[in-house]
Structure 1
């Protein structure tokens, strides 16, 4: 059983308050997810997340097709960090730590994901062939969208 980690971050020219306002709204997940994933939130959403909030999605995953995914929001420390943890979905384990850190040029948005695939050696092979590459592409996309959406919002003030 192998555990994998993704560490991604981006510095965005915005305030901590603006960055937190953006990431605390679960509906913004749609804006930072690549269109080819056909990502859809299927549960009712509050205006902002809270500890224990569960969010149900449908998402298109290579090889698996459309998959149901349920995450729980945990360990919120406004306006700095929170975790989403998979309850039902394609991974054996998915623990996604989100953090905001004030830096000289704005706010550093940090994603750290610990995950494990099911299916033993087949899961490991899938990871080597496409899962890691796909996840890196998704998080690269997120970082581009964070800059685009938050910096444009800050400049329009």
Structure 2
């Protein structure tokens, strides 16, 4: 199984507490996800929930071709105002491990996402990743970059 690694960084002109409060709220993920993915958090009672180890979050998402899929992630590690990690338990990937890092810098916060994923499916998955999946993931993170910039400003 081939594991792919992607890294995305963004500087945000807010203090660390503001960045952490926004990104550690599961409901805000929908706000920074492209609308055509129809991303819906289906876990009950998430309104005031912040990330904690063991938190299970369920979603309905349409990553490709409008097909609705269930996606279940678990927050496995949290160090407040520094990082949290989500791992897929059920969903479209054979493997998904997503680190969210936050670091205070002059004038704001450096946010870094480190994603390890695998499509699975052998040769078919390799082709799908090269033709569709990798491009779609990059498209999602480019959308997030622009959306975060529109919410918090440029740095």
Task: Calculate the TM-score normalised by the size of structure 2.
Answer: 0.93
How far off is 1:56 after superposition? Answer: 0.4
Structure 1 portions without partners, runs of 5+: 153-157
* 1:77-156 superposed matches below 5 A: 77-151=79-153
Q: Are the counterparts in 2 of residues 71 and 85 from structure 1 also a CA contact under 8 Å?
A: yes
Does 2:17 align with 1:17? yes
How far off is 1:105 after superposition? Answer: 3.2
Structure 2 portions without partners, runs of 5+: none
- Give the structure with the higher percent helix: 1
Q: In 2, distance between residues paired with 1:99 and 1:79? A: 8
For residues 63 and 124 of structure 1, do their structure 2 counterparts lie closer, same or farther at Cα, with a shift above 3 Å needed? farther
Runs of 4+ in structure 1 over 3 Å off: none
How far off is 1:150 after superposition? Answer: 2.6
Cross-structure match for 1:50: 52
Q: CA RMSD in A?
A: 1.4
Deviations 1:69-100 (A, max 9, x none): 00001210001100000000000000000000
Q: In 2, distance between residues paired with 1:74 and 1:46? A: 20
Task: Calculate the TM-score normalised by the size of structure 1.
Answer: 0.92
Deviations 1:26-54 (A, max 9, x none): 11011100000010111111511211000
